Every structure is written in C-alpha cells, then in structure tokens.
C-alpha cells in the first residue's frame, strides 16, 4: 500500500501515522492474506490490507471486545450504523486501516470513547466497488449528535463541535488535537479533498471533532 508516512506525538509516545483511513486502489496484484491474519491475539488489526472486505457484516457478525470497548457507532443523520474494530500499528509502523469498508477502527493507543482524554476513530470513504462507511462524514455540522455503543450495550452520546479538512502533511496535528476545554473528545477521521490518480490517494484528511454530552 502506497502510504505517505508522517509523525506525531500522542502524549509521550511517538506514533507513525499515515493515510489512516484511505482505501488506496492498486492497479496490480495484491498479496492475499486470510481475514484471521489481519489481527493479533488481542483482536487488534495490525495489518493494513490493500483489499479490504466490502461485504456488510450481517446480524450474525461476532464482534470481539471488552465491556468498555467501543462496539458500534451510530450517526443517524448520515446513515451510519457500523461495528467498530480495534486498530493498532500495522506492518508499516503506521496506524492500521479497518479490514472492512463498512466498519470503522478505534485506534487503541487513544483512550476508549467516553473516557477522559482523546479518542480516535477512522473509517474508509470509499472502496473498490462500494462507498465506505464515512462517505458522508463531511455532511456533519456543529451541533449534530451521534452515539457510540460500548461492549456492555451502554451508550456514550457525542455532539459535534467542529470539523476541518487539511492537506495530508498538515492533518496529523489536527487529528490528534484535543480542545483543552473538552474533557472527553472523539475525533472521527476519513479521506477528503481530491483523488490523485498518480499517487492513488486523496490529498486531504477530514477530521470531525466531537465532545461527550
């Protein structure tokens, strides 16, 4: 996967982040890996596939996580009702992308949604044949509300407090920024801007910032 690497500081830990939510279309062959090889023993996605699954999870989907882990995100205003995967650092020492275009990824090096601090959830904007889960994320506006359901079926409610799209090189500091006046913040991230056929990537990242209410 042709991903541009950029660095950031999250707390005291340096993390390499790049193209965390973009499905990059490749013209050539890809190396096939089974679904089970995407995740480590803790159920965290640690391999960024170049060919994410485009089948929607069924009602029989077996979500894996703890009682305090984020299970689903529900953004009714843009038609999002999606399961949440855990994502970590992948084979390229970048934040792993979700293995399914209809699912989002909670970056496990940020706090769990609902807890004090900053949480980060990313999602694909598009796939090879289908729209991604965050295809309409840009339609969210300040004041819009959404829910994150935890593993124990409790819900955490959020309100959008802002959004910003920026070039890839400038986006990392935005993605990992927390409003000092907000004790529990969740940033939603996806690709935006113009798709470049040469680099096979989008030139911007959209970050939607939300506070727990």
* pLDDT recorded at residue 56: 92
* pLDDT recorded at residue 115: 98
Question: Has residue 123 got a pLDDT over 60?
Answer: yes
Percentage of the chain beyond pLDDT 90 is 57
Mean pLDDT of 26-54: 62
Higher pLDDT, 50 or 47: 47
Q: Among residues 74, 44, 51, which one has the least CA distance to residue 150?
A: 74
**Cβ within 8 Å of residue 163, ≥6 positions away:** 138, 140, 141, 142, 206, 207, 208, 209
Helix or strand holding residue 120 (H, E): strand 117-123
Mean pLDDT of 109-138: 95
* pLDDT recorded at residue 194: 87
Which residues are bridge partners to 5 per DSSP? none
**77: phi then psi, degrees, rounded to nearest 5:** -65, -20
| Lowest mean pLDDT, pick from 14-18, 36-40, 93-97, 205-209 | 14-18
3 state DSSP class of 35: helix
Mean pLDDT of 116-125: 95
Q: What is the tens place of the pLDDT at every residue in 131-190?
A: 999 999 999 999 999 999 999 999 999 999 999 999 988 888 999 999 999 999 999 999
* pLDDT recorded at residue 22: 47
pLDDT confidence bin for 49, thresholds 50/70/90: confident
Question: Has residue 25 got a pLDDT over 80?
Answer: no
* pLDDT recorded at residue 34: 46
Mean pLDDT of 42-68: 88
Mean pLDDT of 206-211: 97
């Amino acid at each position: 996967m042709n991903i541009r690497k950029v660095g950031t500081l999250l707390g005291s830990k340096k993390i390499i982040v790049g193209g965390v939510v973009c499905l990059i279309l490749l013209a050539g062959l890809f190396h096939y890996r089974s679904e089970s090889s995407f995740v480590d023993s803790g159920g965290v996605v640690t391999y960024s596939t170049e060919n994410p699954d485009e089948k929607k999870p069924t009602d029989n989907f077996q979500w894996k996580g703890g009682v305090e882990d984020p299970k689903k995100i529900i953004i009714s205003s843009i038609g999002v009702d999606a399961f949440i995967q855990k994502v970590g650092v992948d084979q390229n020492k970048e934040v792993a992308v979700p293995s399914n275009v209809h699912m989002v990824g909670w970056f496990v090096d940020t706090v769990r949604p609902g807890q004090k601090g900053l949480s980060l959830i990313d999602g694909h904007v598009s796939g090879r044949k289908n729209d991604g889960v965050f295809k309409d994320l840009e339609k969210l506006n300040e004041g819009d509300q959404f829910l994150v359901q935890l593993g124990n079926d409790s819900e955490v409610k959020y309100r959008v407090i802002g959004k910003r799209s920026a070039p890839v090189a400038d986006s990392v500091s935005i993605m990992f920024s927390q409003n000092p006046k907000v004790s529990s913040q969740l940033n939603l991230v996806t690709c935006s801007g113009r798709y470049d056929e040469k680099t096979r990537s989008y030139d911007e990242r959209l970050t939607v910032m939300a506070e727990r209410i």
